[in-house]
Amino acid sequence: MYKEVDKQVKVGVKFSSGKVEPVWFFWRKRKHEIDEVNLYHRSFKGEAPLHHFSVTVGEDVFQLTFDGKKLRWKLDKLWLNRRQPR
């Protein structure tokens, strides 16, 4: 099931070799441990750099975006395998 979410979330990250990698995020009062970062790309909204991460949690895929100007994380989209979002 695909769903557009567009909600601000808290994200834990690790820094290694000049790169940032999300390791967990809170959404709907639950901590989601990220199993894998599938894809990363950068875009811009005006002068604001946006860092997009496609991540896997179990069998589900989430798109997280970090706004480099506002210093905020958002959960943009999700693809759930077999179950409805809580």
Tokens at 30, concatenated: 């639950």
What's the maximum distance between 2 C-alpha atoms anywhere in the chain? Answer: 39
Burial profile 32-66: b = 16 or more Cβ within 10 angstroms, e = fewer: bebeeeeeeeeeeeeeeebbebbbebeebbbbbbb
Element (H, E) at 59: none
Residue 83: predicted pLDDT: 62
Indicate the pTM of the whole model.
0.89
| Per-residue model confidence as pLDDT tens digits over 25-66 | 999 999 999 999 999 999 999 999 999 999 999 999 999 999
Q: Does 85 score more than 90 pLDDT?
A: no
| Dihedral pair phi/psi, residue 34, rounded to 5° | -80, 125
Residue 54: predicted pLDDT: 98
| Per-residue model confidence as pLDDT tens digits over 14-35 | 999 888 999 999 999 999 999 9
